[in-house]
Amino acid sequence: MFRERLDKKFIRYAKTDVRTIALPEAEFSGVMIKAAEYCVKKQIANIVLIGDEQKIKNTFLDSNFDGIKFISPKDYENKEEMAKKLYEIRKSKGLSLKEAKELILNPIYFATMLLEQGIVDGVVGGAATTTADMLRPALQIIKTEEGIKTVSSSFIMLGKRRLKIGDKGVFLLGDCAINGNPTSEQLADIAVATARTAQKLAKLDVRMAMLSYSTHGSAQGEMVKKVVDATKLVREKAPEILVEGELQADSALMPKVARVKVKNNLWKGNANVLIFPDLNSGNIGYKLMKLAGKLKAIGPIVQGLTKPVNDLSRGASLKEVILTIAITSLQASNLSEEERLLRKKEEKLAKKLEKKAKKQKETFEEEILQPKQEISQNEPVQEELFKAKKEKNNNELTTNDKEHNAEIETKGQES
Ligand SMILES: CC(C)(COP(=O)(O)OP(=O)(O)OC[C@H]1O[C@@H](n2cnc3c(N)ncnc32)[C@H](O)[C@@H]1OP(=O)(O)O)[C@@H](O)C(=O)NCCC(=O)NCCS
């Protein structure tokens, strides 16, 4: 599974079930346009740029927009219906129809409504927008997954294969980007959603640790109790998840320490999903791991929504945007692993056959057609040569004959 790095795998996997992703920052973010170009060219995703087509084309003159779709909120033919739908969703929260009509012109709200209505399969933004502005429409409009009320995020961490953390250096961290100080219920939601992300995207058999500064009662306090309660809730909500808590980081990750500190633990200190108790520890923790451990962090991957919306960090690189589009496509895909493998096999076979056919055609042209062509090209020349030779022979014959005749004539006269 991990022979190839996961990030490359995500891009390859996204190609097996091409989804449609809306990019709401198209009018003002060059990196989003470059990513759109790349994703369409490499068939990673179909792209819908939100904004005025002419304005976008005039702004990004060097870009190639072949195969890219445009939808402008202000010119959208079903704008009125969409505003009404937004009003229906948010009227209980005090939104008026007039406000809904104004809100729909905002590209992020518009893209999120396209997602809600199934016109696109995912939304990616945040390269030039704050997390709150990027995610608020999704939190307000898109429903949460079954059994989950809190939207959260996770990072997939990629270390060297020999790193003795996770599964050959692959593990997940949640939540490091969205929920400030979650309650035990919210923490349980974060844990369940992170386990789902680990299964769906990283294909891990989850061994989850609920992190704290205490291991199985070694310390007391409100902060510890929150993690203990959350662990119980995870077991109730999702009994299929192998979860252990509360655990200190070393008890969660080091078998040697776990053997001493943890009695009857479900695994021996080799967790592959770590849940932080709050955003301070989560955000600090993932950054320290990334820097000190020279790990790659993929994310934040927004989780817990029924339809995917992902937030980039401002100033995200082209590579990061492309990867996030691929991940969003994978989140939107309902293809089972078997179906995906089958498609990959079919694709591989089709490519192989195409290659074989091309080679056969080339060989045919080289070996069969070309010599014929050569002959036919040479034919007129040879014909000319033949004619010339014949003519020369004729001439020679005629001369000979003349001489012969003359000789006979002379001999006749002599006799
Ligand atoms: C997620 C976040 C962006 C939401 O911001 P916000 O829009 O100001 O939040 P609000 O409290 O006004 O909530 C808006 C709506 O979203 C809902 N909501 C907020 N957070 C939610 C969550 N985690 N899950 C589900 N719904 C949530 C609220 O219930 C509210 O819904 P309602 O209007 O239907 O009642 C905010 O929690 C945040 O800024 N988090 C920190 C992000 C950050 O700075 N990270 C730094 C590291 S990258």
Interval 16-38 mean pLDDT? 95
Ligand 1 mutation pick, 93, 106, 178, max ligand atoms within 8 A of CB: 178
Contact assessment for residue 50 and residue 109, using Cβ atoms and an 8 Å cutoff: no
Environment class of 315 (CB within 10 Å of its CB; exposed 0-12, middle 13-18, buried 19+)? exposed
Statement: residue 399 has pLDDT above 70: no
Output b/e per residue, 114-131; b: 16+ Cβ within 10 A.
Answer: bbbeebbbbbbbbbbbeb
Residue nearest atom 3 in ligand 1 by C-alpha distance = 132
Give the distance (Å) from ligand 1 centre to CA of residue 285. Answer: 21
Domain with CATH 3.40.50.10750 in the chain: 149-302
Give the model confidence (pLDDT) of 253-297 as tens digits: 998 898 888 887 677 789 999 999 999 999 999 999 988 988 888
CA proximity to 142, closest of 327, 331, 324: 331
Å from CA of 136 to ligand 1 middle = 6
pLDDT at 269: 85
Specify the amino acid at residue 245: G
Q: 8-143+305-335 has which fold?
A: Rossmann fold (3.40.50)
Residue intervals of the chain classified under CATH 3.40.50.10950 are: 8-143+305-335
Mutate to test the pocket of ligand 1, among 90, 103, 139 (most ligand atoms within 8 A of CB): 139
Distance 23 CA to ligand 1 centre (A): 21
pLDDT band, very low/low/confident/very high, at 415 (cuts 50, 70, 90) = very low
High-pLDDT (> 70) share of the chain, %:
87
10: buried, middle or exposed (CB in 10 Å: 19+, 13-18, 0-12)?
buried
Query: pLDDT by residue (tens digit) across 71-88?
Result: 999 999 999 999 999 999
Q: Residue 233 — very low, low, confident or very high, per pLDDT cuts 50/70/90? A: very high
What is the tens place of the pLDDT at every residue in 175-205? Answer: 999 999 999 999 999 999 999 999 999 999 9
For residue 345, what pLDDT band results from cuts at 50, 70 and 90?
confident
Query: Is the model's pLDDT at 351 over the cut of 90?
Result: no
Q: How far is the CA of 226 from the centre of ligand 1 (A)?
A: 21
Res. 413: pLDDT tops 60? no
Supply the pLDDT for residue 402: 53
Confidence category of residue 379, pLDDT binned at 50, 70, 90:
low
Pinpoint the alpha helices (H) of 117-183: 131-141
149-302 in CATH: which number?
Answer: 3.40.50.10750
DSSP 273: E
* Ligand 1 midpoint to CA 175 (Å): 13
Average pLDDT across the chain, whole number:
88
Of residues 372 and 280, the one with the higher pLDDT is: 280
| pLDDT higher than threshold 50 for residue 408 | no
Q: How confident is the model at residue 315 (pLDDT cuts 50, 70, 90)?
A: confident
Which distant-in-sequence residues (6+ apart) come within 8 Å of 100 by Cβ?
83, 84, 86, 87, 90
In this predicted model, which residue has the larger pLDDT, 377 or 71? 71
| Centre of ligand 1 from the C-alpha of residue 139, in Å | 7
For atom 9 of ligand 1, the residue with the nearest CA is 136
Confidence class for position 412, pLDDT limits 50, 70, 90 = very low
pLDDT of residue 384: 64
Beta strands in 160-223 (DSSP E): 170-174, 207-211
Give 135 Cα–ligand 1 centroid separation in angstroms: 7
The H or E element that residue 339 is part of is helix 337-364
Q: How many helices (H) and strands (E) does the chain have?
A: 15, 11
The β-bridge relationship of strands 46-50 and 69-71 is parallel
Q: Whose CA is nearest to atom 11 of ligand 1?
A: 136
- Specify the ligand 1 atom closest to the Cα of 152: 23
Q: pLDDT at position 178, please?
A: 94
Burial class (CB in 10 A: 0-12, 13-18, 19+), 374: exposed
Residue 248 token pair: 């200190």
**The predicted structure's pLDDT at residue 404:** 52
Confidence grade of residue 3 (pLDDT, cut at 50, 70, 90):
very low
Rounded (5°) CA angle 5-307-332: 40
Where does the pLDDT of residue 346 fall: very low under 50, low under 70, confident under 90, or very high at 90 and above?
A: confident
Tell me which residue of 165, 173, 172, 251 sits closest to 212, measured CA to CA: 251
Count CA atoms within 13 Å of residue 112 on its CB side: 28
Per-residue pLDDT, 360: 85
List residues near ligand 1 (CB under 6 A).
93, 131-132, 135-136, 139-140, 150-151, 177-180, 283
